[in-house]
Amino acid sequence: MGGHARVVALIGIGVSLFGILYVLPAAFNKTAFWKKPAGASGRPGVSALSGRSTVESELSATPTAMGMTK
């Protein structure tokens, strides 16, 4: 392996590590589920204080277009 190839390989490794350690965490922390307001749930239909009746109504709701094809 020549000297130029080693330099290019090391630059590639450095760019990859920079992206993994700095760019990706910053992007994912913007939409992190633990940074949402209290009571907001990441899953639709489920709230932080869902009681049995709320969950049962969600489960027994009228079928959607996908549910009617079964």
Percent of the chain with pLDDT over 90: 26
Q: Judge if pTM exceeds 0.75.
A: no
Q: Is residue 70 part of a domain?
A: no
Residue recorded with tokens 């992007």: 27
- Residue ranges of the alpha helices (H) in 1-70? 3-18, 24-30, 52-59, 65-68
Q: Is residue 69 part of a domain?
A: no
Q: Note whether 27 and 40 are same-domain residues.
A: no
- The 10s digit of each residue's pLDDT in 30-50 is 887 777 776 555 555 555 555
Q: Note whether 43 and 56 are same-domain residues.
A: yes
Are the beta carbons of 54 and 47 closer than 8 angstroms? yes
Q: Is residue 68 part of a domain?
A: no
pLDDT band at 8 (very low <50, low <70, confident <90, very high): very high
pLDDT on residue 28: 84
CA distance 40 to 46: 9
Q: What angle do CA 15, 19, 33 make, to 5 degrees?
A: 175
**Structural domain boundaries enclosing 41:** 36-63
Q: Note whether 26 and 52 are same-domain residues.
A: no
- The 10s digit of each residue's pLDDT in 13-23 is 999 999 999 99
